[in-house]
Amino acid sequence: MVERFAVTRRVAAVILGALLTLTACSSGDSGDGDDGGGEGGGGTAPATENSGVSALENVTGDQFCELLPAASVESALDTTVSGSESTERGRAPERTTPYFLTRECDYDTDTYKLSTEVTTEWDESTSDEDVLQGVFTDAVGENAGGFEPVDGLGTVAGYGKDAALAGADVAGTYLAVVFTVGDERLSLTLHTLGDTELTALKPLAEELLTGLRETG
């Protein structure tokens, strides 16, 4: 009877040990799955050394419109703003390369149609000058429009015509700024349909830059 009891205890001990081993393995597998991130094995791309929260995550599309109120637009462009519409593009829960975030605001006016846009520029293979030139180049890259450098705005800035409208009956004007918030590079563009003087657009860019830096 004693011998049978001892054997039973040994068997129970073996079973208990096996269960503990399986539990430990299961916990380890679960941790590895979390590192992979997400369902279906896809997950979030691993963060680079630049990982962190983008400054634009703190700014919704509506907030971007609010950074440049209608009163400022009306004063600078001598026009009347009847409304504005915001757009948000991209998503970056972690700042990984590549990624993009964009905030846009379109203003309906009785003279000019003003569009503003701020976007992340995390392609480290491009220089600030390349980013600026890209604004003045049409979408297919066939017409690289010229621009004049603008001092006192961001890292580099330029003012010129919209190359995409070069053959159209209506002109387009750009003021583009490459700037940084912390260690993040961003670009800001102001675009109008029609010829708009730099002296009218520059104060609007300054107001937006100030608001974006304070928000970021």
Q: Strand, helix or coil at 216?
A: coil
For residue 137, the cross-strand partners are 144
Is the overall model pTM greater than 0.95, yes or no?
no
For residues 185 and 121, is the Cβ–Cβ distance under 8 A? yes
Is the preceding peptide bond at 98 cis, omega within 30 degrees of 0?
A: yes
Nearest to 77 by CA among 10, 213, 184, 175: 175
Q: Classify domain 55-215 at the CATH topology level.
A: Protein Transport Mog1p; Chain A (3.40.1000)
For residues 157 and 176, is the Cβ–Cβ distance under 8 A? yes
Give per-residue pLDDT as tens, 50-97. 445 788 888 999 999 999 999 999 999 999 999 999 999 986 555 555
